[in-house]
Amino acid sequence: MNKLITTAIDYVNGSPHLGHALEKIYADVYARHLRRKNKVYFLTGTDENSLKTVRTAEQEGVLPEEIASKNSLRFYEMKELLGLSYNDFIRTTEKRHFLGAQKLWKACEKDIYKKNYKGLYCVGCEEYFKEEELIDGCCPIHKTRLEEIEEENYFFRLSKYEDKILQIIENNEVEIIPKQRKNEMLSFIKSGLQDFCISRTSKRARGWGIDVPLDSSQKMWVWFDALSNYITALGYFNNEKNFNEFWEKGETTHIIGKDILRFHAIYWIAMLLSAGLKLPSKIMTHGFITVNNQKMSKSIGNVIDPFELVLKYGKDPVRYFLLSEFKPTGDGDFSYEKFEKKYNADLSSGIGNLVSRILTLIVKKDLIGEEIIYFNEYEDYILKCNKHLEAFEFNEALALIWKMQKELDGYIEERKPWEITDKRELVLIFSKLVLALRKIAFMLEPFLPETSEKILKFLGEDKTKINVLSREMLFPRIKYD
């Protein structure tokens, strides 16, 4: 079946940080896993039509398009940096997006009306808040004072869809993962849904953004604009093949941060219902990363740059830490000390040492070119690994692979092949080990694609023979000063 995997699209008022990398890696693992049996379209991109883009540009004395282009490129460069396999990168300043977003607006016109409005707006969230939602008069997310806005804007009749959305989420027509987040959305809906503002004046937007159809005095609210990227990138405006194959006839999984679930599970569903379009199948929400148990903040100076991290340690070690250290649906903490300890224990002394040990013994025992004797073992590991992947339990899947690695280390210690001289017995032992390494490489591919590829290259393409084409060190040990 056709599968669409999407991430949130990122604001371009700044450069990527480790939290952005985390989400893209989660989506990449899931997409790689699904590609084994499905046709997959993996979509990501940048959200460029926000007030934040305008204000950052004003502060730097440049045009918004300069800020958008510079930072969008940095987000795009994460593809190579992190080994991401996405099929498309959408920028919301592209023509295909403008036309598609305006088409969606028109499709929702029966539920759109205009009125005067006064409210408290957080530019960081790009959202209005009620007084009772504030903490000490500040945004609950950004801890900043809100701006009081009074103007005439367009509104969407969200209240009309309250019962329908409640039913959809209760019945898992759109599955929200984890269940805790589903319950949060149900509670929010039951408190009563209010119509929400979906435009701002062109004056307040400084002329930046997508015009409301037939009313250039108004720009689309950035979230109405941004959410539509999931279909505009697929060719919604022209009803192109990808839109029909992957949205209308396929299954969609949104992978997003827990802080923007309301937009996806409520606003986005309402917009799709209004437009008569198919709903997504799943919304998987992930947690946040702290650094030394503190929220990442420019003012504190603890923002982790993924480019610097990969340059220092490599892409697969970064992927491994983020995927194995904590549960995807929960929060996690990063520190360089944790990273380096995990690198040495799991990668250098773990999987890296196992591969090196097996290949070195094959050479020492002169087994290159021997015919493989086949063993049908470790299939249960693959089945269990796949189940964890389906459930977004990436840390559990990796723990399972590392359990197999330790089991193989134990097998080597038990058999002591360095003491064996009988060729037939050695071929039996190393046939089992080589076949097991191939299965580990297979299971590792969604998580650590470079490492998986290297292991298979070391073993050679001929699966009928024991071979060693290279003994390059997979993960050189980190030496402490």
Each residue of 395-442: pLDDT tens digit? 999 999 999 999 999 999 999 999 999 999 999 999 999 999 999 999
The parent domain of residue 406 ranges over 335-459
Dig out the tokens for 278 from the structure. 């198919």
Distance CA 271, CA 20 (A): 26
Q: Does any domain span residue 154?
A: no
CA-wise closest residue to 237 among 228, 246, 245: 228
| Domain count within the chain | 1
Is the predicted pLDDT of residue 326 greater than 60, yes or no? yes
pLDDT confidence band for 198 (50 / 70 / 90): very high
Assign residue 388 the CATH number of its domain. Answer: 1.10.730.10
Is the predicted pLDDT of residue 31 greater than 90, yes or no? yes
Q: Does any domain span residue 450?
A: yes
Residue 379: what residue type?
E
* Cα-to-chain-centroid distance, residue 161: 29
Distance CA 343, CA 169 (A): 40
- 393 φ/ψ angles, rounded to the nearest 5 degrees: -100, 65
Query: Number of C-alpha atoms within 13 angstroms, CB side, residue 437?
Result: 30
Q: Does any domain span residue 291?
A: no
Q: Does any domain span residue 83?
A: no
Q: Which whole number is the average pLDDT over 212-222?
A: 94
Instruction: Report pLDDT digits (tens) over 99-119.
Output: 999 999 999 999 999 998 766
**Counting every residue, how long is the chain?**
481
Angle at 210 between CA 242 and CA 62, to 5 degrees: 115
Dig out the tokens for 3 from the structure. 């599968």
- 462 φ/ψ angles, rounded to the nearest 5 degrees: -80, 105
Q: Does any domain span residue 301?
A: no
Dig out the tokens for 62 from the structure. 């440049």
Distance CA 406, CA 411 (A): 9
Task: Tell me the pTM.
Answer: 0.93
Q: Does any domain span residue 180?
A: no
Instruction: Report pLDDT digits (tens) over 61-99.
Output: 999 999 999 999 999 999 999 999 999 999 999 999 999
Average pLDDT, the chain: 93
Question: Over the range 392-423, which residues count as b (16 or more CB within 10 Å of their CB) and which as e?
Answer: bbbbbbbebbbebbeebbeebeebebeeeeee
Catalytic positions = 17, 20, 122, 125, 139, 142, 295, 298
Q: Does any domain span residue 72?
A: no
3-state secondary structure of 160: helix
User: What Cα–Cα distance (Å) separates residue 90 from each residue in 174, 237, 465?
Assistant: 24, 14, 45
